[in-house]
Amino acid sequence: MKRILVGILVGILVTVLFFLVAMFSDGACHCVRPTIIFFPYSAIALEKSAPDLMSLALMVLQFPIYSVLLAGIKNRTRRVLTVLTLLACHLIAASIGLALNHT
């Protein structure tokens, strides 16, 4: 249980950090590309006419879910495979988000 709580806390901190990085990057390039890269599921939901609340929920929950998944795995090999799977899913989602937003 402690690992899960730490995972949630780490996920929240990563979300805040990436949100700030995306916010400052968006202002620097006057585009939404950094936000799409960091939060691709939210970008896809927005492009597919999902309610704004759903997109916000995806943005807020994305990294805590990643962290909880990793925190729940004790085996090092499985953790590495999970990281690679999450990374592949994230990259695919980011590619789809960028393609949908034509940036």
Looking at residue 24, its pLDDT comes to 86
Amino acid occupying residue 40: P
Pull the structure tokens for residue 79.
């953790």
For residue 103, pLDDT over 60 is answered with: no
- Render pLDDT for 20-62 as a digit per residue (tens, 0 to 9): 998 888 676 667 888 899 999 998 988 877 678 888 899 999 9
Do residues 19 and 90 make contact, with C-beta atoms less than 8 angstroms apart? no
**Whole-angstrom Cα distance, residue 46 to residue 67?**
24
61-77 pLDDT, tens digit each: 999 999 999 998 989 99
In this structure, what token pair is assigned to residue 103?
Answer: 């940036």
Phi then psi dihedrals of residue 3, to 5 deg = -60, -40
pLDDT number for residue 30: 67
C-alpha to C-alpha distance for 19 and 11, rounded to whole angstroms: 12
